[in-house]
Amino acid sequence: MVVDPPSDPPLPLAARPEAAAQVDGPNDAAAPDAEAMLDLRLVRGAQQGELASFNSLVRRHEQAVFNVCLRLLRDAHAAEDATQETFVKGWTAIHTFRGELVRPWLLRIATNRCYDLLRARHRRPARSLDAEPFEIEPDWTSQAGQEEHPESFAVRAELALHLERALAALPDDQRLAAILIDVQGYGYEETAAITGAALGTVKSRISRARARLRQMLRDDPACAELFERFGRPTED
Amino acid sequence: MDERQDQESGVSPNNAPADGGAGHSERGPSRRRSAHLDQHLDTDALSAYLDDRLDEPERTLAASHLARCEACQGDLAELQATVALLSGLPQYRPRRSFELGPAYASRGQPSRFSRFLPLIPALRVAAAVVALLLVGVTAADIRFADDTRPPAQQAVSRSTAPSTSETEATEGRQTSEDLPAADDAGSSAGVAEPAGEQADRALQAVPAAPATVAASNRTADTSLAAPAEADPATDRAPSTGSNRPSAWRLAEVGLALVLLWLLVGLVGLQRLRGTSDPRAGA
């Protein structure tokens, strides 16, 4: 099996167009700065007590916060509650914001809240939500810019279902690392800041998470062949 | 290269085998690099390589190995596929907005004092400790104020009217007629001394008796004029060289002020917490 020439290392995740499009909008070098500046202006307004400024921040970041909560909690209602609580907490604690990036700051609040809920859920496991699909229809339009063959898309969509289940089977810390780095496209440093873990710990978690996910996809007879086909390099 | 050897070594040069590259003439890192060309990449190394998180020597080493090792190429391809699948997972649009309603503009308005909310338990403990200290200091003040008064007054009286005090001490009683006489002698401290000694005796007889016992003895044994004369003497005691009573008072006042400040802070923070949304504490 031959993959991309090793002398040409793969593009880092943070620089991948599709990941950047999902997280920070256009993959333009100047765009993140402009986005961050706009966030900071809104934060200043919110710190002055302007609820409208804070609600602008909510609109800009609610989808990212909700998706992290949803994949961590695997329950749409719980994720909605956690997202709402994140923004209420963010509003009451906006005066503690000190020049960081807004989204990681919000995600730190969100992940802390999700961890609390997960701990409570582990203490009294009423029902397992891990194997259940989300109650919300996925939005595939974020990858609509790429010309993808319908068959390839069908394979990917089928594998996505299996991968979501595999994600749910990961330990919480590894799942969070995979969600933040691979799904949401954050860098190691940002993930370390969000989770409060050391950089080496983040590297270790994402490595173990990827290895386990890969193993689960390979071992699942329902998707092993699809996974092999997906990983096979296209022959022109 | 069928066997996966040294899976945990990654591409770290520190894990070079002792005999690796012995046949090469290169020295240092070059020799180690030659040794690692034959070692498979572990998951950490592949993951870091995928994210371009390896140092330049390690990345070169990994790339050189991958160019020759089909097993590692397969592992990298599967890992790459896993990451591609993860980054291609769909996003989910929230079913509703999470904007905060107008009620939050007043109820949840951020306060610069909100950062002190977590200190409420500590403030409670501090207030309790300070209250206990205040009670202790007040009790000690009452206890020692009577212990310290006689020696001070004795010292003063010995220097001013020793004969009078000794006479009055042996008599043990003082009449209302004696007090003006002593006062006329120009020694107000001498006037207070008998009352002080009586208080001292009262304390020796009943160790736990507070000043009220001494005061009652004093008023019982002396005329109404005696306390009137003794009080100015007590007030003048600090000015005669002993400042211990005033130190106790200062401690009491200081502790009372600290306690008051803590209580005001506690009440304010409790109100602040009450006005904020209960879900904000999550």
Placement of tokens 């004029």 in the chain: B225
- Are B53 and A203 a contacting pair at CB < 8 A? yes
CB contact under 8 A, B48 and A140: no
Q: How close are the terminal C-alpha atoms of chain A, in Å?
A: 15
Query: Which residues from A are below 8 Å from B93, CB to CB?
Result: 63, 136, 139
- Mean pLDDT over residues A14-32, rounded? 41
Kindly list the residues from chain B whose CB atom is less than 8 angstroms away from the CB atom of residue A91.
100, 104, 108, 110, 280
CATH architecture of A148-236: Orthogonal Bundle (1.10)
B114: nearest Cα among A47, A39, A54: A47
ipTM of model? 0.80
- Average pLDDT (A27-34) is 58
pLDDT at B150: 54
Contact A95 B114 (CB under 8 A): yes
B90-102 residue pLDDT tens:
989 898 999 998 8
Q: Looking at the complex, report in whole angstroms how far the Cα of residue A197 sits from the nearest Cα belonging to chain B.
A: 17
Contacts A142 to B, Cβ<8 Å: 90-91
Residue with the bigger pLDDT between B59 and B146: it is B59
CA distance A20 to A39: 17
Tell me, yes or no, if A125 comes closer than 8 A to chain B by beta carbon. no
Nearest neighbour of A207 by CB, restricted to B43, B80, B109: B43
Nearest to B90 among A2, A16, A140 (CB): A140
Residue B193, Ramachandran bin (φ over 0: left; ψ between -120 and 50: alpha; else beta): alpha
> Which residue of chain A comes nearest to B89, CA vs CA?
A160
B10 dihedral zone (left: phi>0; alpha: psi -120 to 50; beta): left
pLDDT confidence band for B189 (50 / 70 / 90): very low
Task: Mark yes or no for CB contact A92/B115 under 8 Å.
Answer: no
Residue extent(s) of CATH 1.10.1740.10 domains in chain A: 17-123
Say yes or no for a CB contact (<8 Å) between A163 and B95.
no
Which residues in chain A are closer than 8 Å to B100, comparing Cβ atoms?
Answer: 51, 54-55, 58, 87-88, 91
Q: Compute the average pLDDT of residues A13-39.
A: 53
Please give the pLDDT value at position B177.
43
User: For A167-196, what is the mean pLDDT?
Assistant: 93
Q: What's the angle, vertex CA A156, arms to CA A151 and CA A161, rounded to 5?
A: 130
Residue of B nearest to A164 (CA): B89
Check if A182 contacts B (Cβ < 8 Å).
yes
| Chain A residue closest in CA terms to B63 | A6
CA–CA min distance A34, chain B (Å): 23
The better pLDDT of the pair A2, B200 is held by B200
- Best of B8, B80, B87 to mutate (most A CBs within 10 Å, chain A): B87
Predicted local confidence at residue A221, as pLDDT? 85
**Residue contact A6–B70, C-beta within 8 A:** no
Helix, strand or coil, per DSSP, at residue B91 = strand
Cα of B268 to nearest chain A Cα, Å? 17
Q: What is the pLDDT of residue A223?
A: 82
Contact with chain B for residue A152, Cβ under 8 A = no
The model's pLDDT over A117-157, given as tens digits with 9 standing for 90+, comes to: 998 887 765 555 555 566 677 777 655 455 677 877 888 88
Q: Indicate where chain A has its CATH 1.10.10.10 domain(s).
A: 148-236
- How high is the mean pLDDT of chain B? 65
The CATH number of A17-123 is: 1.10.1740.10
Give the whole-number percent of chain A exceeding pLDDT 70.
Answer: 76
* pLDDT above 90: residue A178: yes
Hey, are the CB atoms on B94 and A83 less than 8 Å from each other? yes
- Burial tier of B225 (Cβ tally within 10 Å: 0-12, 13-18, 19+): middle
Q: Please say if the pLDDT value at position B73 is more than 70.
A: yes
**Most confident by average pLDDT, A116-125, B38-47, B152-161, B203-212:** B38-47
